[in-house]
A = this chain, B = another copy of it.
């Protein structure tokens, strides 16, 4: 991880970032930048969080390790997501694991000062409420719908959710962990997708037939 104080920001970076710091407006002078490389741990579960982060670039995953040692991916994070919001609100008993999936850049402020300044900032609280409401809605929707549909549909939704353009490039192991199914069964369903011509292996991932998958996923995505 590389930490870059605001004074050190290159001019062009600064201009790009300045607008993104709006949500930390009440403490704009305290903002700094962090850069993580692919695979790096951002938070180790159980540690005390001293930083409130906001992702401006890259993708990360939240995961937990179960008692039996296996791992579940709880959620994916990307541009516009907070890391540490639940600690900021003093609602999380124990922090979870957060790791960068791709290179990531985060805007950061010290947690203890955030608690002092941002809790007085009406605009921040409103936007945080909206952010949480949105997360909750999507999660609930995916949960309720997911229970009703079989893997075929959830997988289609997942492929669409995690891809930009028409290439899917997630690791199967990760997909299985997120969807909460066995690796074996995922592969089985994947095979069916291939046989139906809905996806096709390419050099850098899988091409997929957007129309077909959208039809399969249409009831699941909020």
Contact = CB atoms under 8 A, between A and B. Distances in A.
A103 interface: no
Interface stretch (A36-44, A139-147, A158-166, A185-193): A139-147
Contacts of A13: none
B72 A129 contact: no
Contact of A132 (B67, B72, B136): B136
Contacts of A133: 85-86, 89, 91-92, 132
B125 A72 contact: no
Contacts of A86: 133, 137
10 contacts: A72-B148, A74-B140, A89-B129, A90-B130, A92-B137, A120-B122, A125-B125, A132-B133, A136-B139, A147-B181
Interface of A: 64, 66-67, 70, 72, 74-75, 85-86, 89-93, 119-120, 122, 125-126, 128-130, 132-137, 139-140, 143-144, 147-148, 179-181, 219, 222
Question: 4 tightest A-B contacts by CB?
Answer: A147-B180, A125-B125, A132-B132, A91-B133
